[in-house]
Amino acid sequence: MLAYITKRLSQSLIVILGVTLITFLALHLGGDPTYLFIGEMASEEAIAATRAKLGFDRPLYEQYLSFLGGLARGDFGNSLTYREPALGVVLGQFPATLELTVFAMLFATVLAIPFGVFAALKRGTTVDGGIMIFAMIGQSMPSFWLGIMLILFVGLGLRWLPISGHVAVIQPFLAGDLATALKNVPSAVKYLLMPSVTIALFSLSRNARLIRSSMLEVLSQDYVRTARAKGLAVPAVVVRHALRNAWLPVVTMFGLEFGFLLSGVVVVETIFSWPGVGRLVFNAINQRDIPLVQTAVVIFALVFVLLNLIVDLFYARLDPRVRLG
């Protein structure tokens, strides 16, 4: 197990280095960000001085190595637009993104499990067909289009839910103000519903299909037929035997799901004016705020890699063949 953990940690480090390199090259090859800092009407001398001060006059490999050295020290550089440490700016917006992602994850998971199990138990029936059609539509629908439709019909047309805004829950909780956090929950849910549905619908549909397939495979096994032949009730067969053994491939997908949902917030937060990291990154890209974009991407990559590592270790614990392979 120790060798497996070491191998996975090494792979995770390589992934993070790859992400930082790709992000760095993509941002620096897009043009000189010095003009953002000083303005296009500045003199050549002032531009050259600012470029040298920011380090943009150095070769790319030196800038990249300097960037990696800063990461090792926990220094992500200063935001060009906020004029303060980029890490602080990103972490300040992260609780709102975390609220949205966790709520979307709960939404996708709580509905995907019964949908998938029920479709497998009713295989070939109208119920199964209806759930699968819903799943295919959910996977085919672009999130940005769904978000706009929800705003137009649910928010502006029916006026059931607010189309933008945010009520904090995690921030007061982290500050130790549990009473305020609990008091804010009902209001926060109203603001969370539409963006969460927008992010989660694809995951909900995909997970429902995955659970259905996994359940169908397990339900055809001899031990499940034996359990039924012994007279066990259907709920007992499903919970004790089928669902338990169908869970392994689903665990992997759910572990990746959080990272997928987290990466999908950029567009959705922009559409719903959600004050999270996604909208921050969108604005930073438009403003060519390279340190801010780099910091956000690295934070997202770290969260994604960490979740994958936890899932892999959990999976290896459940199935020893994984770590022996």
Q: Are 257 and 108 in contact (CB under 8 A)?
A: yes
Distance separating the N- and C-terminal Cα atoms of the chain: 12
- DSSP 8-state code for residue 40: T
Closest CA to 269 of 147, 185, 171: 147
Structure-token pair, residue 266:
């950029």
Which whole-number Å values give the CA distances from 226 to 49, 140, 213, 223, 237, in the listed order?
79, 39, 20, 5, 10
pLDDT tens over the chain, length 325 residues: 777 778 778 888 888 888 888 888 887 776 666 766 666 677 777 778 877 777 777 888 888 888 888 888 888 888 888 888 989 999 988 888 888 888 888 888 888 888 988 898 888 899 899 999 999 998 888 888 899 999 999 989 998 999 888 888 888 888 888 888 888 888 888 999 999 999 889 888 988 888 888 888 888 888 777 777 777 777 777 777 777 666 666 666 666 777 777 777 788 888 888 888 888 888 888 887 888 888 888 888 888 888 877 877 777 666 666 555 5
pTM of the model: 0.78
Produce one character per residue of 4-40: b if its CB has 16 or more CB atoms within 10 Å, e if not.
beeebeeebeebbeebbeebbeebbeeeebbeebbee
Q: Determine the 3-state secondary structure of 287 from DSSP.
A: coil
Distance CA 223, CA 174 (A): 48
Q: Which residues have a Cβ under 8 Å from the Cβ of 189 and sit 6 or more positions away?
A: 103
What does 216-232 look like in DSSP terms, one character per residue?
A: HHHHTSHHHHHHHHTT-
Closest CA to 225 of 242, 239, 211: 242
Structure-token pair, residue 192:
């969370």
Distance CA 187, CA 166 (A): 9
Angle at which helices 290-318 and 243-263 pack, to 10 degrees? 170
Backbone angles phi, psi at 78, to 5 degrees: -100, 140
Backbone angles phi, psi at 85, to 5 degrees: -55, 130
